[in-house]
Amino acid sequence: MEDLGTRIARTLRREREAIGMSVSELARQAGVSKATVSQLENGAGNPSVETLWALGVALGVPFAVLVDQQANAPTLIRADDLASVPSAAASYSASLLSASPPGARRDIYLIRAEPGEPRRSDPHHSGTTEHVILTSGQAQIGPADAPVLLNPGDYLTYAGDIPHVFDALVPGTSAVLISELR
């Protein structure tokens, strides 16, 4: 999985170049130094939430665009590997799990499951993506032909328009499931 600094570098440069803005102009509009923008575009530096927010505003894109993985394949984020962007002003950090694409509909569910027969789901509408954060227990979740073992705090996203499964492995398994339809 691509690390956060590399994602920020790639996306920042892409968004800046897409609107034909120079590094100097971006720095001026965001109220940060030119060196900061250059470092971030080269994958160096450790930006704060405030810096990324200011850059996003100057570029006309949401904060989430600068840090999102934008992957089409199933995406797994282990709780222990979660990348976060710290605040410079408070004991606070933001960890984007998934940005909502324009025009998407998201339904949020609390799932409670017990061991036994797995919940097998037929494909949903074309373009459906499911996002799961396991909150307790342990489960095999995701595409029916390749489910992923999740532990509490793990995040997984996968296509919901293919057969998929939720198989609780221990009593008291629960999760937050977000079904997104584009």
What would the pLDDT profile of 65-97 be if each residue is shown by its tens digit?
A: 787 755 556 777 787 887 777 777 666 666 767
Phi and psi of 96, rounded to 5°?
A: -75, 125
Compute CA distances 88 → 33, 35, 127, 168, whole Å.
16, 18, 38, 40
Model confidence pLDDT, tens digit, residues 20-36: 999 999 999 999 999 99
Spell out the domains of the chain, with CATH numbers in brackets.
Answer: 4-71 (1.10.260.40), 105-181 (2.60.120.10)
Amino acid of residue 60 = G
Model confidence pLDDT, tens digit, residues 143-173: 999 999 999 999 999 999 999 999 999 999 9
What pLDDT does residue 116 have?
87
Rounded CA separation 154/175 (Å): 10
